[in-house]
Chain A
Amino acid sequence: MAKRFLSGNEAFAYGIRLAKPQVISAYPITPQTIVVEKLSEMVEDGSLESEFIHVESEHSALSCAMGASAVGARAFTATSSQGLLYMAECLVYASGGRFPIVMMNANRSTALPWNIYGDQRDSISQLDSGWIQAYAENAQESLDFALMSYYIAEQKQVSTPFMVNLDGFVLTHTYEVVDVPSSEQADAFLPPYETENKLDLLKPKNLAFSAGPEHNTAFKYKEHIGMLNVKKAVADAEERFAEIFGRRYTGLTESYFTEDADYILITLGSIAGLVKETVDKLREKGERVGLLRLRYLRPFPNEEIAESVKNAKAVAVLEKDISFGNEGTVYTNVNSALQKSKISIPTSNYIGGLGGKNISQAEIETIFYDLKQEKFKVRFLSVGGDLK
């Protein structure tokens, strides 16, 4: 293990090098570029043995990765924003085909208006695409997700593609000290990819076929079960990861002072760092506040959320997303989790960080104080004006 000063993108590239994908296909888009540039350098200097394919579009990036996965190769791609949307057809194809491809998505706003900065509307718009979706908080977790994502996605009972999301610029371009495991440790953690779901020259198969009304539901049911199996695979992966690397993760969510908290803020991605600082600050003032960070949006941590907030007085969801005409999609999902567990506490939704807009500590403090003062609402941070 070695300490390095790396940006989120670079840390992810180091993680991917340790995972040794046999095929990498990618098309450049800001702010994803550094991860593929870094991987190109690693292929050039011989420290990563991989076929690097310079595809002419994101659609081809994922189509190529599916071809590689369909012959049993480990495949990687990376994208962002418009690029993710351009490959949307291939997203559902990869999940329906049960190809455990890993993709890094640098979370970025979607046009229009054009904007290259971070929000999560790109990936959240694809929640129903059948991909596992994880959101990293920092560069270390980014690297660790790169390794763990393959372990989880490639479990036979999972066989589902994995999208790791890094907040554009805030995480992809910010430098931190990162522990980079050795290649030997990584090999001990991640076995080579083995699958029956492949074209096989010794045992020919027909893949990615049609299934009419009679059989279609069965395939979709199995796809859903595969996604539900992720929870167990995450637990296994993290246990194994802790044994080998000495860092322990906490499953689909991370709780920060939620046990005795009256007011809990639920969020995801890199903003959690600032929320943790705010929780510390308010705790010092005697406020019983906490953070629940969603590390995964798919599968959705229904039970974990219910368990964490069951004793709270109120909950707010802060997200960099809006489903126009409704509310933030994470908020919708959280409310559904609460309702299923018959938890009826007031909830609020704060939409922030759109197009890279900074979210301040003062704003986070205000969210907690609003909850305490029983002001429950849907609000765009920095715009103001309560909705509903």
Chain B
Amino acid sequence: MKPYLRDKLPQKLSEIPDFTAYEAGYLVTKNAGWRNVRPEIDKEKCVGCLQCYLHCPDGVIYKDNGKVAVDYDFCKGCGICKKICKVGAIRMEAEK
């Protein structure tokens, strides 16, 4: 199962688990704020080789109609995808 964002932030004593055990993949914060630059995929150039998807340390690049797309909630903007792309389909754009 892929970890995903939840609405509920356990805070009160009754919401804290009795043990150090909790539902797997429980996310309450995003990583988008870490980023200075963002990868932009040029869908025209993308050949769907998936090397960016394979090498992303955060797993935020996913398959999208034979090409790829980015989950910007969790991309940290490391730029590995741009470096690995053999056809130059990824540009790093400054975050505003």
Residues of A within 8 A of B (CB): 96-98, 156, 159, 196-198, 204-209, 211, 215, 218-219, 221-222, 226
Contacts and interface: CB of A to CB of B under 8 A. Distances in A.
B19 to A, nearest CB: 4
Q: Interface of chain B, helix or strand or loop or mixed?
A: loop
A221 B19 contact: no
19 contacts: A96-B20, A98-B18, A98-B20, A156-B18, A196-B19, A197-B21, A204-B23, A204-B24, A205-B22, A206-B23, A206-B26, A208-B20, A209-B20, A218-B16, A219-B16, A219-B20, A221-B13, A222-B16, A226-B18
Interface string B1-19: 1000000001001001011
A191 to B, nearest CB: 19
A205 B13 contact: no
A219 B16 CA distance: 8
Contacts of B20: 96-98, 207-209, 211, 219
Contact of A207 (B13, B16, B21, B25): B21
B16 A98 contact: no
A204 B25 contact: yes
Contacts of A208: 20-21
Nearest to B24: A204
A264 B85 CA distance: 82
Contacts of A218: 13, 16
A373 B26 CA distance: 66
A196 B21 contact: yes
Given A218-B13, A218-B16, A222-B16, A209 B22 contact: yes
Interface residues on B, range: 10 to 19
Nearest to B22: A206
Contacts of A219: 16, 20
B20 to A, nearest CB: 5
A205 B25 CA distance: 8
A159 B19 contact: yes
Contacts of A205: 21-24
Nearest to A206: B24
Contacts of B19: 97-98, 159, 196-197, 207
A347 to B, nearest CB: 38
A226 B20 CA distance: 13
Which of A197, A206, A211 has most B Cβ within 10 Å?
Answer: A206
A204 B25 CA distance: 9
A222 B13 CA distance: 9
Q: Which 9 A-B pairs have the closest CB atoms?
A: A204-B24, A197-B19, A218-B16, A98-B19, A207-B21, A197-B21, A206-B24, A205-B21, A208-B20
A37 to B, nearest CB: 34
Contacts of B23: 204-206
A221 B22 CA distance: 17
Contacts of A156: 18
Contacts of B22: 205-206, 209
Contacts of A222: 16, 18
A226 B21 CA distance: 15
A186 B30 CA distance: 52
Given A197-B19, A219-B16, 16 more contacts: A98-B18, A197-B18, A197-B21, A198-B21, A204-B25, A205-B21, A205-B24, A206-B23, A207-B19, A208-B20, A209-B20, A209-B22, A221-B13, A222-B16, A222-B18, A226-B18
B29 to A, nearest CB: 13
Nearest to A98: B19
A125 to B, nearest CB: 25
A97 B20 CA distance: 6
Which of A96, A205, A211, A215 has most B Cβ within 10 Å?
Answer: A205
Nearest to B13: A218
A215 B21 contact: no
A345 B4 CA distance: 61
A96 B17 CA distance: 12
A159 B18 contact: yes
A302 to B, nearest CB: 24
Contacts of A159: 18-19
B21 to A, nearest CB: 5
Interface string B22-46: 1111100000000000000000000
A365 B16 CA distance: 53
A204 B1 contact: yes
A73 to B, nearest CB: 15
